[in-house]
Structure 1
Amino acid sequence: MGIWKNVYRYFLSTDKLYWLLMLLISAYGLLILKTIPTPPDNSRSYFTTQFIAMVIGYSGAIFITFLDYKEISNYWYVVAGFCFFLLIFTLKFGKPVTGADGVNARAWISVPVIGTFQPSELTKIGFLISFSKHLNELKIRGKLSSFLHVILLALHALIPIALVHLQGDDGAAIIFFCMFLFMAFGAGIPLRYFFGLALSLFILVPVAWKYIMSDYQKSRILITYNLDSDPLHYGYQQIQARTSIGSGGLWGRGLFQSPRVNNCLVSVQQSDFIFSAIGEQLGLIGCLSAVLLLFLFLLHTLRIAKNTKDLLGSSICIGFFGMITSQMLFNLGMCLDLLPVMGITLPFFSAGGSSAACLYFGFGLVLSVYMHHDRFDYGGLALNTK
């Protein structure tokens, strides 16, 4: 009886609409992955791997909600140190992944039982904690406008950005950069620093093009707006994705009976190009439904951030919002041939055990903000007083 009473108390204290949106998105994502054929050499189907990741992710999220985010942030140095170690370890001992077009990434590590794990995904959640703590401390000390401290904030963000770039995972580097921008802007960093950053990037782009970017990255950018110039190589993936989405029409060709999905004509359709599978099978209605669910989820994340009384909590929410928003926009841009291919997945839909589990950890962190930013203890359970 005591267990059910605690479950009931937990249900009262949590954000029920946020949970509902998360469950609907999860169910939709699982349904789509169930329709995608699994290669015969895979030990588990995409659906099974995703389901296991969801169970781990939801379990972690629930555990995190019982912890006060303010207490978690007090151990920011442990979180940051562990994430730094993971990125360095991956850079040195990570599993290399190469591609015919020049891709050479070392962003995964082998873990017994689990298989492969991508540490940058967990580091995104760690960055939410450490960077929010950094912003909050500067606000307390009245240093958010200080040039020196803004530079130190930028250096804080540059550490994971540089390390994942060295791993060959520039898609993750872009997401870290977007999280930095969203969180810094949300904290009230003066606009003059953003103008300075934009000017610096404008100056550095030619340098990056000549000395930093790989040949395959340059080719992906150049081919984006002229796919037909290389339809069998750099343009192939986006041409096929665009064709699949268009073939679905308004209502789609049906789950489990769409020939392009069934024949795997779009490479990595279970991950980076999951949106093409949605488009072919469920048409424009299915695509709009997926986008609408994610939009409502993001809107509710902002609502939690707005109602949070401290910068620490609101920065965590805005950072999570920035992470999901940027991944969604870049992924849809790739699939719709508006942006170059950059290896960024669609949150909660794309297959990927480490990515999915860590996204749910971020969800739990935002719920912790909701449940603990203004609360009292009742029977050992933190209850919201709103």
Structure 2
Amino acid sequence: MMGFGRNKISSFKIVRNKKIWRDIDLVIWIVPFILVHLSCFLIASTQRNLGITDWYQHAIIAYIGTLIIYFLAQVPLQDLRKYTLTIYFLTISTLLYVNFSGTSALGAKRWLSFAGLYIQPSEFAKLTLILVLASILDQKRFSDLSHLMKPLFVSFLPWILVFIQPDLGTSLVFGAILLGMLYWAGMPYEWAFIILATLVTGLLAYVYQFGLFIWIPIIGFLSYKSLPHQKKLLTLLVVFFHSLIAKISPWIWESVLRDYQKDRLILFLNPSQDPLGGGYHMLQSKIGIGSGGLLGSGLMQGQLTKLKFIPEQHTDFIFSALGEETGFLGTLLVSFLFFILILRLIKIAIDARTDFESLIVIGITSMFIFQIMVNIFMTIGLGPVTGIPLPFMSYGRTALFVNFISLGFCLSVSRRGQSVRRNL
């Protein structure tokens, strides 16, 4: 009997261990682990001989984030749904407070100082927007253009508060999250085009105003053709909205954007026009990546990195240190890791148990995709310098913390999706 009992206990332990390992999503655990530890070497390399230990803080936040992933994985995201409105208003209140009483650095007021720590509320606002949009879009069926009003409104408030800090990069991430989640919720392609067309409208308003007399009627015609109901009224609203964008865009460019932001948006087309000013970061970043060749100079061996040719390289331009010290193969490996992480998140969104959970995962995926693409394009000279960090690699305590919270949400959805499939 005693032997039988021991065998029974051993069998129970084996089954339990198998269940634990079966619930572990290796991609979500392993990919961030590799990226963070590689980044610690790169951050240390950018700051060697300076006596700064940001790499150490980066690692600590990552280890805390790993615990957060584990605990959030146990929480059903449906339990958060009843708190989304409270979280949203708390986020808006925090962003308002930052704009009036926040801590300034590098010409922007983005941080709150708390117990010696600097917290960036705009990073948490990205997660808040994802939760609120998921709650709204879970109940939406896009049969009318007016159904866009609520998602656009709840996105506009945090967007404008972050934009005026000023934080152009994070405000652009809000737009990517909104479009990704609207698409996943079933928004028609024509409506997505109408929204994206506002960028062209704003550009024409500043560069070639006569073109608006052709462009806005085209948008109006496409709106009329794509709308199933109330065609005339909603087409007039679309035309009015684009006319409003055309009116305020020159004012935003002249009065709201700072000079350095204008330089960043223009000089990426030809950074050599101002090699010691607005184009300096991009030129030096391209030189650093190019100098790495195929295999790179080796970790902690980059000469351009050592001599601090690229300011703030440990944050927004960490990819340039990667290119110099690990070469083309290193950048290819990191890009591949990001690729399989994104594929895994999309698979989790597809297999999610509810539309609400699926929308949360796709919002997080949209956030990661946009940040990865914009940051890498920025460092290799294919896009403007926007100040968007590279997930899990750029130094930034709040941003890294939010990235791990995001993965915790995704792992929660993954585990529940797996349990549903096993019970089918």
Q: TM-score, normalised by structure 1?
A: 0.89
Matches for 1:1-386 after TM superposition, within 5 Å? 9-37=19-47, 40=50, 42=52, 45-98=53-106, 104-113=107-116, 115-138=117-140, 143-205=141-203, 206=205, 207=246, 209-213=249-253, 214=257, 215-373=259-417, 375=419, 385=423
Amino acid at match of 2:98: T
**Partners of 1:245 and 1:276 within 8 A in 2:** yes
Runs of 4+ aligned residues of structure 1 deviating over 6 Å after TM superposition are: 1-8
Structure 1 counterpart SS, 2:193: helix
Contact 1:76 1:130 in 2 (8 A): yes
3-state DSSP of counterpart to 1:96: strand
Unaligned segments of structure 1, at least 5 residues = 99-103, 377-382
Superposition CA RMSD, Å: 2.4
Q: Is the 8 A contact 1:313 1:373 kept in 2?
A: no
Tell me which amino acid in the other structure corresponds to 1:23.
Answer: F
Deviations 1:213-248 (A, max 9, x none): 323322222211211111111111111111000111
| Offset of residue 313 of structure 1 | 1.5
Higher helix share: 2
Report which stretch shifted further, 75-84 or 250-259: 75-84
Question: Is the 1:38–1:46 Cα contact (8 Å) retained in structure 2?
Answer: no
Deviation at 1:121, TM superposition (A): 1.0
Shift of 1:193: 1.6
Overall identity of the aligned pairs, in %: 26
Matched length: 368
C-alpha distance in 2, partners of 1:384/1:154?
Answer: 38
In structure 2, C-alpha distance between the alignment counterparts of 1:135 and 1:221, rounded to whole Å: 32
For residue 375 of structure 1, give the secondary structure of its aligned residue in structure 2: helix
CA contact (8 A) 1:14 1:370 kept: no
- Asked whether the 8 Å contact 2:27–2:340 carries over to 1, the reply is no
Contact 1:135 1:187 in 2 (8 A): yes
Q: Once the 2 structures are TM-superposed, how far is the Cα of residue 86 of structure 1 from its aligned partner?
A: 1.9
Amino acid corresponding to residue 257 of structure 1 in structure 2: Q
- CA separation of 1:32/1:150 partners in 2, compared to 1, >3 Å: closer, same or farther? same
Indicate conservation of the 8 Å contact 2:352/2:416, yes or no.
no
Distance 2:13 2:301 in 1: 45
Aligned equivalents of 1:39, 1:88: Cα separation in 2? 39
Residue by residue, what CA displacement relative to the aligned partner does 1:318-361 show, whole Å, maximum 9, x if unpaired? Answer: 11111011001111111011111111111111001100011000
Question: Does the CA-based 8 Å contact 1:209-1:218 persist in structure 2?
Answer: no
For the pair shown, the structure with the greater C-alpha radius of gyration is 2
